[in-house]
Chain A
Amino acid sequence: NAGVTQTPKFQVLKTGQSMTLQCAQDMNHNSMYWYRQDPGMGLRLIYYSASEGTTDKGEVPNGYNVSRLNKREFSLRLESAAPSQTSVYFCASRSRDFGIQYFGAGTRLSVL
């Protein structure tokens, strides 16, 4: 049982390049989330999806887009990467019954 799987684990981009971060969960959860974590800080919500077919902005959505491809998969896209998007990105899914979020191992992104 893999839980929440994120790919890639590491990525280096040049300013202006685009990329998609992939996330998949195998726990049949309805809700999925994308966060970013900057040094010495907590997590900030970028986008979330309460259920398949719906997405909503979080606290810091500018510069990002998301796609809820199906119940399992929730991707985050950077169309034109900027140095300010250098961060660690975490995907999570939520258990409806218990309200607990389960996190992936993270993607460490550097934008030069």
Chain B
Amino acid sequence: SQQGEEDPQALSIQEGENATMNCSYKTSINNLQWYRQNSGRGLVHLILIRSNEREKHSGRLRVTLDTSKKSSSLLITASRAADTASYFCALETSGSRLTFGEGTQLTVNP
């Protein structure tokens, strides 16, 4: 399967805590992307990490990529209630197509 698999499926934390979600895959990739989906909305791109990169930061987001283990993690620091959403990893393996995982549902409690 070219699909990424997210872990955990659901995560509930308190405001101010850090949230970590993971994505594992089985194929070679060009890049790996993370998207957020608020309830009832479309997906919004968060961050892209290329296969030759190991770590990227964007504001409170940190993404790591380990191509030898075929895994990535997304860390959201100092979580806020507004971070409550589903988070998806997406793999770009060839051409311009993305394959999405099933997502992690993050709930941040005030």
Chain A residues with a Cβ under 8 A of chain B: 4, 31, 33, 35, 40-45, 48, 50, 58, 90, 92, 94, 96, 98-106
Contacts and interface: CB of A to CB of B under 8 A. Distances in A.
A98 B43 CA distance: 16
A42 B42 contact: no
A110 to B, nearest CB: 15
B98 A101 contact: yes
6 contacts: A42-B102, A45-B98, A92-B43, A94-B96, A103-B42, A106-B42
Contact residues on B (Cβ < 8 Å of other chain), bracket: 20 to 34
Contacts of B85: none
A31 B96 CA distance: 8
Given A45-B97, A99-B31, A106-B40, 9 more contacts: A4-B42, A42-B88, A43-B88, A45-B99, A99-B48, A100-B33, A101-B45, A103-B42, A103-B44
B52 to A, nearest CB: 14
Contacts of B3: 42
A57 to B, nearest CB: 11
A90 B13 CA distance: 29
Contacts of B100: 35, 42-44
A99 B93 CA distance: 12
A98 B48 contact: yes
A103 B43 contact: yes
Contact of A90 (B30, B40, B43, B92): B43
A12 to B, nearest CB: 17
Of A42, A48, A92, A102, which is in contact with the most chain B CB atoms at under 10 Å from its CB? A42
A41 B37 CA distance: 12
B102 A102 contact: no
A74 B3 CA distance: 25
The 8 closest A-B pairs by CB, nearest first: A103-B42, A42-B100, A43-B100, A103-B43, A42-B102, A100-B45, A31-B96, A105-B42
